[in-house]
Amino acid sequence: MATYKIDVDHSDIMFKVKHLMISTVSGIFKKFDATLEVNEQDLSDAKVTFEADVDSVDTKNEQRDAHLKSDDFFNAEQFPKMTFKSTSIKKVGNDEYTLTGDFTIRDITKSIDLKVEYNGSTKDPWGQERMGFEVSGKINRKEYGLKWSAVTEAGGLVVADDVKLAMNVEMVKQA
């Protein structure tokens, strides 16, 4: 088994959610960590752990970010991390996988499936082995206690319940 750590300078942890049901607001987490343990020849036994600092959420709007960190959403003070720990991985196509695991927000853990596209591996100019992935999925925020909601005059939600997850990940092999 080889161990890879996420290259935070070449990775993005993003989310998107509908706002007023007519547009999409995007955000990122600036502080995160991930580890991949994998057989060199095959991803079929890959094990992934991930965590993000909730306090590092950034939607390019300080007032919205403060609201997301409050008890209406993440409650960053009481629950500073969101985590993912894989339980299985299944090849579903050429360089495509379904990664299943336990995703935790606010101490609420649910099993989720993530779509993983393996973009290949390479050796960088400094001799380090790297692997690249694009990961996507969707969660219902209310299942994790991110409960704030409001309704427009027309009856639409201000913030949708479904949140799309999108991650561009570069992993570096550890010595």
Structure tokens belonging to residue 6? 């996420």
Buried b (16+ CB within 10 A) or exposed e, 149-175: eeeeeeeeeebbeebbbbbebbbbbee
Q: Could you tell me which residues come within 8 angstroms of residue 14 by beta carbon, excluding any fewer than 6 positions away?
A: 26, 27, 28, 165, 166, 167, 168
pLDDT (tens digit, 9 = 90+) per residue, 36-94? 999 867 798 999 999 999 999 999 999 989 999 999 899 999 999 999 999 999 999 99
Question: For residue 112, what pLDDT is reported?
Answer: 98
Question: For residue 154, what pLDDT is reported?
Answer: 58
Tell me how far apart the alpha carbons of residues 74 and 70 are, in angstroms, rounded to a whole number.
Answer: 6
Tell me how far apart the alpha carbons of residues 159 and 77 are, in angstroms, rounded to a whole number.
Answer: 22
Least confidently predicted of 29-38, 99-108, 155-164: 155-164
The DSSP element (H or E) to which 27 belongs, if any, is strand 23-29
Question: For residue 70, what pLDDT is reported?
Answer: 93
State which amino acid sits at residue 144: Y
Q: Which domains does the chain have, with CATH numbers?
A: 2-173 (2.40.128.110)
Q: What percent of the chain has pLDDT over 70?
A: 94
pLDDT(157) > 70: no
Tell me how far apart the alpha carbons of residues 124 and 58 are, in angstroms, rounded to a whole number.
Answer: 30
Mean pLDDT of 142-166: 75
33 contacts 174 by C-beta, under 8 angstroms? no
Question: For residue 158, what pLDDT is reported?
Answer: 62
Within 54-175, strands assigned E span 57-58, 81-93, 96-105, 108-123, 129-140, 159-173
169 contacts 34 by C-beta, under 8 angstroms? yes
pLDDT(150) > 80: no
Look up residue 61 and give its DSSP letter: -
Compute the chain's Rg from CA coordinates: 17
